[in-house]
Amino acid sequence: MRTRQILCPTDFSLTASHALSYAIEMANLYGVSLRLVHVMSEPFSEHHYGIAVDSVEQLDRQVEAAATENLEKLELKIQQGLNHGLTVKTVLRKGDVLDEILEESEVGQVGMIVIASHGHRGISHLLNPNIAESLANKAKCPVLVVK
C-alpha cells in the first residue's frame, strides 16, 4: 500500500466529493499519489429519452466534454490538498462502471480504492446496482467505502 497509488472513482456527486476528501487524506498519510477515475456509462442507447441531440455521437461528445471539464476542475482542487511531491492523475473511461474501475485498479498499480456508497436504503437499495459493494467483493486491493 505504501508504494502504490490510491484510486478514487467519482460520479461528481456530493457523496463522491466526500469520499474524495478521505482519499486525499489517505494519500497524504501514506505519501502516495492519487488516481481519480470517472467512468462514462452508456445509459441513453439510441432512444435518448427525449434529449434533443442530432446524433448519438453528439451526445457522447457532450457528455465526454462535461466529464473532462469536471475532472480538470477536481484535479486542480486535489493538487492543492496533496502534500508536496504527491501527484494526481485523472482518468476518463467508458463502459461498464464496475468493470472499468476494476481494470483501472489493476493497470494503475493501485494499493487502495476509496469510493462513495450510493446511500440507497430499502427497496431503492434492491433496485439500484451497488457499485461500491460489488467493488469491495471483487477488487484485489483494500476498498474503503465512504458514506
Separation between Cα atoms, residue 137 and residue 132, nearest integer Å: 9
pLDDT tens-place string over residues 67-108: 999 999 999 999 999 999 999 999 999 999 999 999 999 998
- Give the mean model confidence (pLDDT) for residues 130-134: 90
Number of residues written out for the chain: 147
DSSP state of 140: S
- Assigned CATH topology for domain 5-146: Rossmann fold (3.40.50)
pLDDT tens-place string over residues 32-61: 999 999 999 865 555 545 556 667 788 788
